[in-house]
Amino acid sequence: MLINMNEMLKVAEKHQFAVGAFNATESSLFRAVVEEAENSNSPAIIQVAPGEFDFATREFYTYVKERLAESRVPFVLHLDHGKSLEHCMKAIQAGFTSVMIDGSELSYEENIRISKEVTELAHMVNVSVEGEIGTIGVMDNSDEGGVRNVTYTNPEDVTEFVSQTNVDCLAIAIGTAHGIYPKEFKPKLRLQLLREIKAVSSVPLVLHGGSNNPDEEIREACKIGIRKVNISSDFKYAFFKKVNEVIEETGGFIPAKVFTPGILEARKVIRQKMELFGSLGKAECYR
C-alpha cells in the first residue's frame, strides 16, 4: 500500500505512535526496511535525500514504487531534505507521494516563501509536504547535511509557519544531529521544548537525526507527540558492519552470501526502532 504522508501520519496521530522513516538508496537496504515492516506488520516510510536520489537513478524508483504499492502494509515514498523546487519536482515526477522542502538554512521569510511554493504545486497532485523550522546538527559521517550550531525551533513561529505555508507535517529542532555521534558527544533532547511546540502545532511533528540517541529519550519524544522519526545511520551501520565481517571471514563476493547476513542485521535494528516508536502491529490501523 503506497499512501501519502498526510494519510500516514493522520492515523499515527489518532493512535499515538510514530512511524520510522528510513533512508534507503539501493535494493539491499530497501529490502531490509520493507521486509521488516511486513514481518512486524508496521507502517514505514522509505526516504531518500537528493544526493541519494541521484545515486540510485530515477529508474530505481519504478521498482520501489511497485514493491511498496503491492505490499499489504502502508508505506510512504518521501524525498528527504529537498533544498529546491527542482529537487521536489524530480521526486514527484518519479512517483514519490511526499516531499520535504528544507528551507531551514534560509531566512525565516524565504523559508515561508519556498515552502508555500512547493506546497501549492505538490498538493495539486496529492503529494504531501514536510517543512522545517530550526536547524538540525550534523556529524562528519552523515550525508543529509545540517549545521554545526543548532538553532532550536521557536514555538512562537510554528502556528504562523504552518498557516502561511500549508505544510502537512513539520520537522523541528530540539537537539538532534544527523549521523553517528562521537563518543564524547552527549546528545540531549529538549523534551520540554517539544511539549511547548506540540501544544501549538496543528500538524504532526517530525524528528530528524534519530540515530544514536538514547532509546528512552526517543520513546518519550514519541509519547509527547513526535509522529515521524528519521533513521539513517543506525541501520546502515549494522548492515555494512556485517557485510565487512562476512567479506573478511570468507573472502566471498557472491551478493546473496555477502548481503543476506547484512540485511538480517539491519532488520534487527529496524525492528528495535519500530518498537521504540510504538509502530509494531500498527499496519492494522490502516485497513
Residue positions annotated with a catalytic role: 80
Q: Please identify, using beta-carbon distances, which residue of 53 and 259 lies nearer to Zn ion.
A: 53
Nearer to Zn ion, 94 or 206 (CB): 206
Shortest approach of Zn ion to residue 181 CB, angstroms? 15
Told to check if 144 binds Zn ion by CB under 5 A, we report yes
Q: How far is the CB of 236 from Zn ion (least distance, A)?
A: 14
Stretch that binds Zn ion, among 15-23, 142-150, 184-192, 241-249 (CB under 5 A): 142-150
**Cβ-Cβ contacts under 8 Å for 164 (sequence gap 6 or more):** 112, 116
Residues of span 59-118 touching Zn ion by CB under 5 A: none
**Interacting stretch for Zn ion, rule CB under 5 A, among 24-32, 50-58, 143-151, 249-257?**
143-151
The reply on whether position 208 binds Zn ion by CB under 5 A is yes
Of 208 and 271, which has the nearer Cβ to Zn ion? 208
Give min distance, CB of 210 to Zn ion, in A: 9
Amino acid found at 231: I
**Residue 265 near Zn ion by CB under 5 A:** no
Minimum CB distance to Zn ion smaller for 144 or for 168: 144
Extract the C-alpha cell encoding 47.
526516504
Report DSSP letters for the chain, one per residue. -B--HHHHHHHHHHHT--EEEEE--SHHHHHHHHHHHHHHT--EEEEE-HHHHHHH-TTHHHHHHHHHHHSSS-EEEEEEEE-SHHHHHHHHHTT-SEEEE--TTS-HHHHHHHHHHHHHHHHHTT-EEEEEES--EE-TT-SS--BSSPPPPPHHHHHHHHHHH--SEEEE-SS-EESPPPTT------HHHHHHHHHH-SS-EEE---TTS-HHHHHHHHHHTEEEEEE-HHHHHHHHHHHHHHHHHH----HHHHHHHHHHHHHHHHHHHHHHHT-TTGGGGG-
Piece of 1-9, 105-113, 136-144, 184-192 that binds Zn ion (CB under 5 A) = 136-144
**Closer residue to Zn ion (CB): 65 or 208:** 208
What mask, x for binding Zn ion by CB under 5 A, covers residues 12 to 31?
--------------------
Residue 144 beta carbon to Zn ion: minimum distance, rounded to whole angstroms: 5
Nearer to Zn ion, 90 or 208 (CB): 208
Residue of this chain nearest to Zn ion (CB atom): 208
What is the nearest approach in angstroms of Zn ion to the Cβ of residue 230? 5
CB atoms within 10 A of CB 109: 9
Residue whose C-alpha is closest to residue 255's, from 267, 238, 243 = 243
CB of 258 to Zn ion, least distance (A): 29
- Tell me how crowded residue 253 is: count the other CB atoms within 10 A of its CB: 8
Site size toward Zn ion (CB under 5 A) is 2
Options 38-46, 123-131, 139-147, 265-273: segment touching Zn ion (CB under 5 A): 139-147
Binding site for Zn ion (CB under 5 A): 144, 208
